[in-house]
Structures are given as structure tokens and as C-alpha cells.
């Protein structure tokens, strides 16, 4: 072929042309233009049928008359005709220039195949609860990892991000609470091409499809590693025939979402003074100090701090004397950050029998930190080769490598989120009058100069497999899988300096050290299984499968730390002195450990169907684990499922045109969970530490040892029983499809905090299998997909899922509310009912008079205007929590539940004449949350654990306070240090953490093929895509409803999520 014309692109031109040249040499033998008409069985022309050259992205759609024209079609190509609700057809061109097609309606989506455990299954024949997501649904999302893109895409797959920092991994869970998490975990098993892997490090664009196995019938084949569901990721592979090459990119700009705003300095000082005065303390800010704060705001003075009156060589303490006006959130977070992603892939057939797929991806994402960079880079490479060695033996090898580089300031730890606002008073000087960062302590100095924390994580996957098929339909697989994960972490904690009044540096934090951590996982897995399928009289279809699986993981960790960085710019372990600031030696600390676990299991499956109408499946798994001693080690886990395809019955004939699919499913299974947090839960361990003691001996930290925790020698499996009932349907030519599942999952003999025992025991009671819970709920999915005659294709997808959990067994003999309660729902929030804030002293007195037996004395004293009036729910004439037990809970009641309920996703998309549009919403319809941290309250009992954010200005004032007017209709009560009496858990301040969020909005345009073919490109798409663009919520404005439970110890102050705007381009050869 020849290059007719050069199309000029603004970037990547050279590389692109080189590829085109190579590929065109190999591929384009002879090309023709094909025309034709597509009609339905009644002879009506079909508009909007997709016509595609198989194995490429080259294609078009039929016009108003059902006519299509495709140029540059190779004479030996095959055309694929697809249309919603019609059977897809493949027609070889064979040199013809005119092809007319009649498409048949598809009564069922018989063709759709779903990946299930150790195999595939036609969707229509599924009896377990399986949902899928396709690569299309995660396309062009400017996210950092796949998990983020999956949020809201699959009903029952719950993904939440409680932290927006770049390395944060969203938590993933299937169908709600699995265990109470007090000794065991219930995360889903994530398998990438059949092998356990990390969903966050995979190249999102390698993904072909994702199956989520939700019930026991679907996941039990994986046994004890998958009691709470499986996420099966299948990656792309090459198709025989033409080679396809794709390059795409996107460029992104991010900004923080729902970042809190701080009060201005003068308001803040007024607020804190009011809280001091209310407490009967002296005001924190003297009138002279207040004046200085005001003068600084008004520009009358320019210094942010004064010299220390007692020691004028130094600046004074910021808390006692600072007069700056800083919003520390603005000081540490950027308003805009940048990222980019590039992806290249090539796939196809090397020969008739051998195919390949390969990809390279680069992601460069910067974070929001302002004073010292945080960023995340990811490089991934994958290669895949499949070959038919003989007619009975196939062979394959996958290779995948990912490298993740993450860097953040060493001071960006939990402590930052713990301390940010309490050590970030607006009055604290960010810079001293000489322009040096000044720490009082406050967050900026450490972030800017305190050193860096870098982690490099590599994942390498090798997967080899052989498939034998000596006799037709008897297929045997042997897979060998190996994964090596290494992580190297380096952090340096640098000496930091404040500066004195003359600008001379002096040490603020004298210690400096370098820390190196090394982490290595070696995971090995063998799967061998054989299956045989056959039919009797074409009506009874049977499939048998049996196999064996074993896994082993070895983990090695070590780390070393030494003090005394010699050259701050060279923070390396061999460039440290081992001395402290004063030259005294400090023993370097080292740590290391070696651990491993293994599992082994035998499994079998039996499938039966009668004319695709009546379906049955039985799974058995016999599983053993290294975590339990021999007598508890092995267990048998069965599952059963049945299905009835009602629409296949003869009596359905007449309904078939409207209701194309109607299937009922039911399943039951028992599974075991061996995922104890401790890998050796039956062994007692002595906590022994070197150079760790804090009572020094001979000037060094001595070795220490502590009493070993008790263990339960009878600890064993947690049993998981799973019921699922479901219905699948397809209506109106399968334009409307959907499914509904209801499930009950009981986790029995769960490892939980043991029964409370008398304190004389003197040690924590060992955790053991003593708790049961029940989780139940539903998953619902409804999809409408259609294409109008004018060529507008559109679809709408609605997902809704719900789960609730009840504790069914728990040893809590006193029924204290501070522990789990049998028969109660998980997540219940016990609190007082708020009558309101007393507007006057007399209103409060009136209220107290109505409580003759002790008033509100149990909660505090000195009640007046601006304080909370609590309701006496049990009419005993006083407000208290009784014995804080279920039987005597005083005036407490259940005021809410923090379980996220009714998780939904709404996915709207449309395409027309090359334009495509998508709007994807995700959210939670109901969730209560009690956020009692100082970020919520502002002023708390302790002045040093208090802050002043903008929403806190709405506090009760019955007299003018400096520039703040009287505020009797306030949201917050009067601020008081020294008491938490107004901050009891109560209805008034319960947060509504439900939300709806526009997770993704994208608009793309595919250049007309007439144009692209001239450049020898089969498809060019440009797009803009936005993430987290809009949020609807009633949560208090200092919190993001998604991260309200995030932050240090759940205080809700987390690294913000990002709003992202991006654009990009995708070119397919």
C-alpha cells in the first residue's frame, strides 16, 4: 500500500508513522469497498446496525435506509454485524463488494458467555449470582486505579474510598459486612486470569471483563479463600488474524473536593475566647493580642508574630502570641494538580495457531501537597502468548509487570490528619516576619523540609498453562502461577530548623534518620483440573469437573534505620553517622520477619441442564489450611443451585416477543473462612524487642519482653452459609434486561472479641470462634439499551443494592451497649434525643425543673442558655444513660445506623454520529454517621484538641462577641472548654452521610472513518472526561460523605478526593 497523504498530528507523529509503516507492510494486501443493506426478517431496513471488520476497530453503522458503506476492506476480511436484540452475524467478504444481510431477532442472549470459577458459562445457563462489568465501562476514566473505576458499576460490589491520597487503596467488599473484623477478614478474593493479584496495580486498559461471583454457588469452587465472593478479572488477549495497534492517552487536572475552610484569625480568636470564658477560664487571647490579630488582618501591621517577651532573641510561641491569618488547608493543599496517562497495545495472530497481546502503560499522577511534592507513577508491561501446539494440546504464557513509585513528604502521616487543625490555628504564623516557615508546632515546616517517604512496589506475574483435549470435550488444565511482589520503602526524616529574630537557623527537631524497608512476597499456585461434558439425546446436557489447587505464600520483610544524616541532600543509610545531634551514639534499629501460609484443596463440580430449561449445579470443595492445627485443618464445603428458564417452556411461546427471558435461580452453599488476620492464630507468641525499652540501662535502650497474649487452642474455621434467590429477565427484544437477587448470608463461629471476663484475669481474653452474624439484602440491576432510527444509540443502567447485618450470637452477658448485642443490627448509633438549644437561661431552667430527679447532672453541670436540652425519654426525671445496657439504657435510644444503605449507580450513555456521551452517578441513599471528632465540634473539652472551621462560626451567642452578632438560632451550642456535656451522641448532630456524586462525565468524538482511513487509521477518538464533578449531600460541610469515616482514627479529616478534568485521544491502527 502507499501513503497517500500525511495527516499532521500535534504529537507522537513520528512514532505513529513508524508503526503504521511497519504494520501496513505486513497487513494490507488488497483492499476493496463493500456496500450493502441490512434488513430484519420482515424486510424492514435496520438503522444503526454496527458493521465492523472483525479483528479491527474499523467499522460503520447503517444509515436511514439500512445501507452501509465500508472502504479499505481487505478482500479476505470478515464483517461482523451487530445490533441490540439481534443475533450477531459474521460474514466473510470473500472478495465481494456488495453484501446484503437479514438479521434475526435474538430470543435470548444465548451467546453471552460469562467467566466463572475454573471456566466459562453461558449467561443464560447461570444458576449462581454473577454480575459482570466490561472494559467499556471503565474506559477513559481518569482514575489512579481500576478499583476506583469499579465503584458503583456492579450491584453488590461495594467500593469505598475513605481517603483521597494517591496510594490509598479503596476498600472492596461484596454484599456488605462479612465478619466483624476482630481477628479475621472477609475481603473478596481477587483473581486476575485465575491467579490472585492486586487490582490496584493492574493496567486498567488490559482488562477485558470483570465477573463478580457473589453467592456460594458461584464462589465455592474457590473454597476457603473465597467465602465472601470472588472478583475475576480477565485480561485481553489477541484474536487470530489481523494485528491491532492502539495508542491512547489522557491529560488531567485535579483539584480537591470538599476541602474544609478555616475561620479567619480574628473570628477564631473570638471563638476560642468565648469558649474559655464559658468555661470560667481566662480568655486565651488577651485584648492586646486580639488587637494585634485584627491589625494584621487589616494590614496595619505586617508581622505575623512578635519576639518572645522573655527571650527576645527568638520569636514568641505561636499559640500564645501568633497573629497571622492562615487557612492551613490552603497552605498545605494545592488548588490544581496535573497528571497524564499513556497506553500502547498491540495484539493479533502471529499465525493461525498462535496469538499474542502486549501492552505498555504509563501513569504519572501528581498529588495535592503544596509544600513538598507527592506523586504516584505506574509503569506496566504485559505480554501474552497463546498457541495450539497440537490438535490436542494448547499452551499459553502470560507475563505481567507493574512498577509503582509513590512519594510523599515524610511528615504526611496519620499524625498530620490527626493534628492538622488543632496545630493549625489560623493565628499561628505560617512564615515568621523574616519569611521563614515557622513551626509552633504546626504542620508546614515538617511537610516542607522534614524529608521524603518513597515506596517502589513491583509486581511480577508469570503464568503458564497447558490445556489437554485428547478426546473431544474432555479438557484438562494445568496452570502454574507465580507472583513476586517486592516493595522497597525509603524514608528520611530530616532535621528541621526554625529561625530566630535575626534570621539565624536553630534546630527545631534535632533528630534525623534514614529508614529502609524491604518487603517481598513469593506466591506460588498450582491448579489442575479436568472436565468432561456431554449430551444425552440432545436434551440432557451434563458437565463434570474435578481438580486440585494448592497455594503457598512466603513473605520476607526487613528494615533498618540509622540516625545522623550527614548531608541532608544525600539521605542514604551508609551516609549516616549513627549519632544524635549531640554526638551520642544511637543504636540503629533493625527489624525483620519471615512468614508463610499455604492452602490446599480438592474440588468438583457437576452441571446438568435439561433443554436449557431446568438447570442444576453442585460444587464440592475439600479444603485445608496451614492456619489451624491438624485436627481443625480440613473441612468439606458443598454448594447447590437450581435454575428454571421459564421462557423456554412451550407455554411461553406467545409471550416470547415481549418477554424474551425469564429465569429463576436459587442457591445454597456452605463455605469456610480461613482468613484470620494472624497467620499463626493457634500459637502463643512472646513479644520480644531489641533496644526498645524506654527505661534506659547504661545509656541505651534495653531489650524488652512482654507477657504473651492468650490464644485459643481450639480456634478453627468460620463457617459461612449463603442463600441466594434470583430472577433474570429480558423484555422487548432484550432492550430491557435486568436481574434481582435476594440473599441471606450467615457467618457462624466467627472469630470475635471473646466473652468479657472479670478484670482479675489481668489479660485480654483470647479471641475465639464465638460470634455469629447474618447479613441480608438484595442486588438489583436494570438496563435499557436501544438505538433509534435516526442513529442515536442510548442506554441507561440502574444499579441498586442493599445489605444489613445483624449479630445473631455474641457473648455479652451484661448486654452492655459498648459491645455487640445479640439480635441487634450492626452499626446502631445510641444517643440522646435533642430537644434543642436553650435560647435563654430561663428556658434551660424550665427544662431542668421538668427533671426533678437530677436534671442533666449526669452529663455535666452549669446548664444555661446555649446549652443542649436533652429529652427525658424514660420519664425518670433525669438525663442519663442508666447502666448503659440494653436492659437499662436510660435516655439513650437508637438514633441511627451507620451502615451505608441502598448503594446505587446510574449510568447514562448515548452515541450519535461519532459522538459518545456518558454520565455516571454513584451514591448512597441512606446512611447516618456520628462524627464526634474535634473537626466536627470545633471547640471540645480540651483546648489543645480543638479547632475553628468556618461551619463552627454558627455557634450560640446571646450577646455580641467582638464582630460576631448575637446568634440565638445557631446550629452549634455555646462553645465551652473543659466539658463535653453538649457533645453527647444525640439526634441533632447526627450526620446524614447519604450522597449522590457525578463520578464520571465524558464526551467523546470518533472521527469519521472516511477521514481516518485516509491516514490508514481505523479509529481515532478524542474525548474529555471528568471525575467527581458534582456532589449532592447534606453532610456538614467540613466533611466529604465518602471520607467522613476516614482520616486518622476515623476523625473525618482525610486527604481530600479530587475533582478531575481530563482530555485525551485514542488511535487504533
Partner 1 sequence: MKYFNIIRHILSIFLICGFVSCDDFLDKAPQSQITPENYLNEESQLAAYANGLYTDILPSHANWSYGTFGIDQHTDNQAYITYDNRYVPGQWKVGQTGGDWYFNYIYSCNYFLSKVLPRYNSGEISGSEENIKHYIGEIYFLRAYEYFKRYQEFGDFPIITEPLPDQLEPLIEASKRSPRNEVARFILSDLDKAIEFLSTNIDSRRTRITRDVALLLKSRVALFEGTWLKYFKETAFVPDGEGWPGKEKDYNADYTYPTGNIDGEIDYFLQQSMDAAKQVADKYIDKLTVNTGKVQQSASDPVNPYMDMFGSVDLSGYDEVLLWREYSKGLGITHCVVVATQFGDYGVGVTRGLVESFLMKNGLPIYDPNSGYEGDDNIANVRKNRDPRLSLFLKEPGQKNILYESTEGDHAVPIEPIPNITAASAEKAYSTGYALRKGGSFYQNQCGNGQSYTGSITFRAVEALLNYIEASYEKNGTIDAKADEYWRAIRSRAGVDTDYGRTIAATNMSKEALNDWGAFSRGVVINPTLYNIRRERRSELMAEALRYMDLRRWRAMDQMIDNPYHIEGIKIWGEMQNWYKNEDGTSKLVYGTNDANVSSPERSMYLRPYEKVPTSLVYDGYRWAMAHYLQPIAIQHFLITATDGKTISTSPIYQNPGWPTVAGQGAQ
Q: Which of residues 540-599 bind partner 1 (CB under 8 A)?
A: 548, 550, 552, 563, 579-582, 584-586, 592-599
**How many Cβ atoms from other residues are within 10 Å of residue 853's Cβ?**
11
Cα separation, 1049 vs 1047, in Å, equals 6
Separation of alpha carbons 856 and 862, rounded Å = 10
Q: Using the minimum distance from each CB to partner 1, give the nearer residue, 460 or 511.
A: 511
Q: Between residue 429 and residue 448, which ones bind partner 1 under the rule CB under 8 A? A: 441
Q: Does 625 bind partner 1 (CB under 8 A)?
A: yes
User: Residue 49: CB partners within 8 Å, gap ≥ 6?
Assistant: 38, 61, 62, 66, 68, 81, 82, 83, 86, 103
* Pairing label, strands 540-563, 513-536: antiparallel
Shortest separation between residue 551's beta carbon and partner 1, angstroms: 10
In this structure, the strands spanning 1019-1033 and 995-1006 are antiparallel
Contact code string over 667-686 relative to partner 1, x by CB under 8 A: ------------xx--xxxx
Radius of gyration of the chain (CA): 33
513-526 residues labelled b (16+ CB within 10 A) or e (exposed): bbbbbebbbebebe
Please, are residues 74 and 94 in contact by the beta-carbon 8 Å criterion? no
The contact mask relative to partner 1 for 595-624 (x = CB under 8 A, - = no) is xxxxxx-x---------------------x
- Helix 265-278 with 287-297: angle, nearest 10 deg: 160
Contacting residue, 251, 314, 740, 742, with partner 1 by CB under 8 A: 314
DSSP state of 1055: P
Our CB check for partner 1 shows the closer of 330 and 888 to be 888
Q: Is 102 exposed, middle or buried (0-12, 13-18, 19+ CB in 10 A)?
A: middle
Asked whether position 883 contacts partner 1 by CB under 8 A, the answer is yes
What length is written for the chain? 1069
- Cα separation of 145 and 820, whole Å? 35
The CA distance from 1 to 234, in Å, is 36
Q: Is 273 in the site for partner 1 (CB under 8 A)?
A: yes
Smallest distance, partner 1 to C-beta of residue 729, A = 42
* Residue 255 or 704 having the CB closest to partner 1: 704
Q: How far is the CB of 899 from partner 1 (least distance, A)?
A: 26
Q: Which of 255, 128, 97, 83 is nearest to 1029 (CA)?
A: 255
Q: What is the DSSP letter of 843?
A: H
Q: Nearest approach, Cβ of 456 to partner 1 (angstroms)?
A: 24
CA–CA distance, 340 with 1064 (Å, rounded to integer): 9
Sign of the alpha-carbon dihedral angle for 948, 950, 952, 954: positive
Question: What would the 3-class secondary structure string for 927-938 be?
Answer: CEECCCCHHHHC
Question: Rounded to an integer, what distance in angstroms lies between the CA atom of residue 411 and that of residue 371?
Answer: 11
Give the Cα separation of 363 and 722 in Å (integer). 40
| 697 belongs to the binding site for partner 1 (CB under 8 A) | yes
Name the minimum Å distance from CB 321 to partner 1: 10
Helices (H), 113-188: 146-150
- Can you tell me which of 381, 467, 484, 765 binds partner 1, judged by CB under 8 A? 765
What is the spatial distance between Cα 621 and Cα 262, in angstroms, rounded to a whole number? 57
Q: Which is nearer to partner 1, 94 or 755 (CB)?
A: 755
Stretch that binds partner 1, among 326-334, 697-705, 896-904, 1031-1039 (CB under 8 A): 697-705
Site string for partner 1, 319-358 (x = CB under 8 A): xx--------------------------------------
Find the shortest distance in angstroms from Cβ 930 to partner 1: 19
Give yes or no for residue 961 binding partner 1 (CB under 8 A).
no
**x-or-dash string of contact with partner 1, 472-511, rule CB under 8 A:** ----x-x-------------------x-x-----xxx-xx
Kindly state whether residue 280 participates in binding partner 1, applying the rule CB under 8 A: yes
CB of 157 to partner 1, least distance (A): 31
The DSSP symbol for 645 reads E
Nearer to partner 1, 71 or 291 (CB): 291
Beta bridge partners of 731: 659, 736
| Distance in Å, CB of 550 to partner 1, minimum | 6
- Which residues between 89 and 108 bind partner 1 (CB under 8 A)? none
Give the nearer residue to partner 1 in terms of CB position, either 499 or 927: 499
Interaction between residue 849 and partner 1 (CB under 8 A)? no
Window 926-945: contact mask with partner 1 (x via CB under 8 A):
-----------------x--
Nearer to partner 1 by C-beta: 25 or 471?
A: 471
Q: The C-alpha cell of 95 is what?
A: 472478495
Longest dimension (CA), the chain: 101
Per CB under 8 A, the list member of 127, 173, 179, 276 interacting with partner 1 is 276
Under rule CB under 8 A, which residues in 792-821 are in contact with partner 1? Answer: 813-816, 818
Question: How many residues in the shown chain lie near partner 1 by CB under 8 A?
Answer: 113
Q: Which of 18, 22, 757, 1010 binds partner 1 (CB under 8 A)?
A: 757
**Cα(184)–Cα(548) distance, rounded to whole angstroms?**
25
Q: Report 10-69 residues binding partner 1 (CB under 8 A).
A: none
For partner 1, give the closer residue by CB, 202 or 715: 715
Least separation, in Å, of the C-beta of 762 and partner 1? 3
| Least distance between partner 1 and beta carbon 100 (Å) | 46
Amino acid at each position: 500500500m502507499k501513503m497517500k497523504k500525511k495527516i499532521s498530528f500535534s504529537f507522537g507523529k513520528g512514532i505513529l508513522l513508524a508503526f503504521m509503516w511497519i504494520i501496513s507492510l505486513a497487513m494490507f494486501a488488497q483492499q476493496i469497498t463493500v456496500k450493502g443493506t441490512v434488513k430484519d426478517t420482515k424486510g424492514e431496513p435496520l438503522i444503526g446496525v454496527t458493521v465492523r471488520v472483525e479483528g479491527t476497530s474499523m467499522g460503520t453503522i447503517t444509515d436511514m435506509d439500512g445501507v452501509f458503506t465500508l472502504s479499505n476492506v481487505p478482500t479476505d476480511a470478515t464483517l461482523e454485524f451487530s445490533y441490540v436484540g439481534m443475533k450477531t452475524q459474521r460474514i466473510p467478504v470473500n472478495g465481494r463488494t456488495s453484501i446484503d444481510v437479514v438479521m434475526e431477532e435474538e430470543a435470548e442472549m444465548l451467546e453471552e458467555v460469562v467467566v466463572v470459577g475454573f471456566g466459562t458459562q453461558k449467561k443464560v445457563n447461570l444458576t449462581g449470582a454473577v454480575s459482570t462489568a466490561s472494559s467499556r465501562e471503565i474506559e477513559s476514566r481518569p482514575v489512579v486505579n481500576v478499583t476506583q473505576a469499579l465503584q458503583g458499576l456492579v450491584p453488590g460490589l461495594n467500593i469505598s474510598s475513605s481517603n483521597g491520597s494517591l496510594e490509598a487503596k479503596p476498600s472492596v467488599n461484596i454484599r456488605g459486612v462479612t465478619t466483624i473484623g476482630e481477628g479475621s477478614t472477609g475481603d473478596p478474593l481477587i483473581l486476575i486470569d485465575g491467579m490472585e493479584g492486586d487490582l490496584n496495580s493492574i493496567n486498567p486498559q488490559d482488562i477485558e471483563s470483570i465477573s463478580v461471583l457473589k453467592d456460594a454457588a458461584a464462589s465455592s469452587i474457590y473454597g476457603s479463600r473465597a467465602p465472601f465472593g470472588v472478583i475475576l478479572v480477565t485480561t485481553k488477549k489477541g484474536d487470530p488474524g489481523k494485528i491491532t495497534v492502539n495508542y491512547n492517552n489522557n491529560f488531567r487536572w485535579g483539584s480537591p473536593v470538599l476541602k474544609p475552610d478555616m475561620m479567619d484569625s480574628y473570628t477564631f480568636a473570638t471563638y476560642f475566647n468565648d469558649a474559655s470564658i464559658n468555661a470560667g477560664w481566662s480568655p486565651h487571647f488577651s485584648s492586646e493580642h486580639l488587637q494585634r490579630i485584627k491589625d494584621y488582618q487589616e494590614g496595619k501591621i505586617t508581622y505575623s508574630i512578635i519576639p518572645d517577651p522573655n527571650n527576645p532573641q527568638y520569636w514568641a510561641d505561636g499559640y500564645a502570641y501568633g497573629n497571622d491569618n492562615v487557612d492551613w488547608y490552603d497552605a498545605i493543599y494545592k488548588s490544581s494538580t496535573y497528571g497524564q496517562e499513556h497506553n500502547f497495545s498491540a495484539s493479533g495472530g502471529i499465525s493461525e495457531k498462535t496469538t499474542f497481546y502486549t501492552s505498555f502503560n504509563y501513569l504519572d499522577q501528581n498529588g495535592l501537597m503544596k509544600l513538598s511534592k507527592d506523586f504516584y507513577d505506574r509503569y506496566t508491561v504485559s505480554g501474552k502468548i497463546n498457541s495450539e501446539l497440537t490438535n490436542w494440546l494448547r499452551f499459553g504464557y502470560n507475563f505481567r509487570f507493574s512498577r509503582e513509585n509513590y512519594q510523599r513528604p515524610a511528615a504526611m502521616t496519620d499524625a498530620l490528619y490527626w493534628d492538622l487543625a488543632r496545630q493549625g490555628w489560623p493565628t499561628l504564623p505560617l512564615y515568621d516576619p523574616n519569611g521563614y516557615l515557622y513551626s509552633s508546632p504546626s504542620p508546614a515546616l515538617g511537610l516542607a523540609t522534614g524529608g521524603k517517604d518513597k515506596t517502589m512496589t513491583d509486581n511480577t506475574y508469570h503464568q503458564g498453562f497447558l490445556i489437554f483435549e485428547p478426546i473431544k470435550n474432555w479438557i484438562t488444565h494445568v496452570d502454574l502461577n507465580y507472583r513476586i511482589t517486592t516493595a522497597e520503602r525509603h524514608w528520611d526524616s530530616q532535621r528541621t530548623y526554625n529561625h530566630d529574630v535575626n534570621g539565624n537557623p536553630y534546630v527545631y527537631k534535632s533528630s534525623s534518620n534514614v529508614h529502609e524497608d524491604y518487603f517481598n512476597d513469593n506466591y506460588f499456585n498450582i491448579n489442575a483440573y479436568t472436565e468432561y461434558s456431554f449430551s444425552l439425546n440432545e436434551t440432557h446436557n451434563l458437565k463434570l469437573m474435578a481438580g486440585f489447587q494448592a497455594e503457598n505464600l512466603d513473605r520476607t520483610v526487613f528494615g533498618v534505620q540509622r540516625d545522623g544524616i550527614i548531608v541532608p541532600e544525600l539521605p542514604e543509610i551508609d551516609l549516616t553517622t549513627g549519632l544524635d545531634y549531640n554526638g551520642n551514639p544511637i543504636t540503629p534499629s533493625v527489624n525483620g520477619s519471615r512468614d508463610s501460609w499455604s492452602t490446599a484443596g480438592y474440588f468438583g463440580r457437576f452441571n446438568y441442564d435439561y433443554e436449557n430449561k431446568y438447570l442444576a449445579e453442585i460444587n464440592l470443595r475439600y479444603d485445608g489450611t496451614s492456619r489451624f492445627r491438624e485436627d481443625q485443618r480440613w473441612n468439606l464445603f458443598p454448594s447447590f443451585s437450581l435454575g428454571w428458564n421459564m421462557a423456554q417452556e412451550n407455554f411461553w411461546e406467545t409471550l416470547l416477543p415481549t418477554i424474551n427471558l425469564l429465569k429463576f435461580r436459587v442457591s445454597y452453599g456452605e463455605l469456610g473462612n480461613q482468613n484470620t488476620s494472624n497467620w499463626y492464630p493457634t500459637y502463643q507468641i512472646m513479644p520480644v524487642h531489641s533496644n526498645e525499652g524506654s527505661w534506659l540501662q547504661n545509656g541505651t535502650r534495653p531489650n524488652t519482653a512482654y507477657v504473651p497474649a492468650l490464644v485459643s487452642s481450639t480456634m478453627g474455621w468460620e463457617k459461612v452459609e449463603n442463600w441466594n434467590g434470583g430472577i433474570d429477565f429480558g423484555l422487548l427484544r432484550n432492550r430491557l434486561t435486568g436481574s434481582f437477587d435476594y440473599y441471606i448470608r450467615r457467618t457462624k463461629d466467627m472469630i470475635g472479641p471473646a466473652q468479657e471476663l472479670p478484670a482479675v484475669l489481668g489479660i485480654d481474653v483470647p479471641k475465639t470462634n464465638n460470634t455469629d452474624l447474618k447479613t441480608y439484602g438484595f442486588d438489583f440491576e436494570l438496563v435499557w439499551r436501544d438505538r433509534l432510527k435516526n442513529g442515536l444509540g442510548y442506554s441507561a443502567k440502574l444499579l441498586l443494592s442493599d445489605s444489613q447485618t445483624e449479630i445473631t450470637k455474641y457473648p455479652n452477658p451484661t448486654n452492655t451497649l459498648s459491645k455487640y448485642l445479640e439480635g441487634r443490627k450492626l452499626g446502631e448509633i445510641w444517643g440522646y434525643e435533642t430537644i434543642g438549644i436553650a435560647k435563654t437561661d430561663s428556658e434551660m431552667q424550665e427544662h431542668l425543673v421538668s427533671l426533678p430527679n437530677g436534671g442533666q447532672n449526669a452529663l455535666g453541670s452549669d446548664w444555661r442558655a446555649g446549652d443542649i436540652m436533652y429529652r427525658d425519654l424514660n420519664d425518670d426525671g433525669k438525663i442519663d444513660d442508666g447502666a448503659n445496657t440494653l436492659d437499662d439504657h436510660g435516655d439513650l435510644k437508637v438514633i441511627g445506623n451507620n451502615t451505608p444503605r441502598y448503594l446505587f449507580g446510574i449510568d447514562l450513555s448515548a452515541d450519535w454520529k461519532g459522538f459518545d456521551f456518558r454520565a455516571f452517578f454513584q451514591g448512597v441513599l441512606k446512611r447516618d454517621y456520628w462524627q464526634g471528632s474535634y473537626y466536627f465540634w470545633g471547640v471540645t473539652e480540651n483546648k489543645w484538641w480543638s479547632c475553628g472551621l468556618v461551619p463552627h462560626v454558627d455557634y450560640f451567642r446571646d450577646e455580641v462577641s467582638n464582630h460576631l452578632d448575637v446568634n440565638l438560632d445557631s446550629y452549634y451550642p455555646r462553645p465551652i472548654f473543659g466539658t463535653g456535656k453538649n457533645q453527647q451522641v444525640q439526634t441533632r448532630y447526627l450526620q446524614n452521610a447519604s450522597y449522590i456524586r457525578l463520578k464520571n462525565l465524558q464526551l467523546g468524538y470518533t472521527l469519521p472513518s472516511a477521514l481516518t482511513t485516509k491516514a490508514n487509521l481505523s479509529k481515532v477518538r478524542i474525548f474529555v472526561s471528568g471525575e467527581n464533578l458534582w456532589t449532592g449531600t447534606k453532610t456538614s460541610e467540613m466533611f466529604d460523605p465518602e471520607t467522613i469515616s476516614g482520616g486518622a482514627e476515623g476523625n473525618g479529616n482525610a486527604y481530600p478526593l479530587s475533582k478531575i478534568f481530563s482530555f485525551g485521544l485514542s488511535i487504533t491502527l
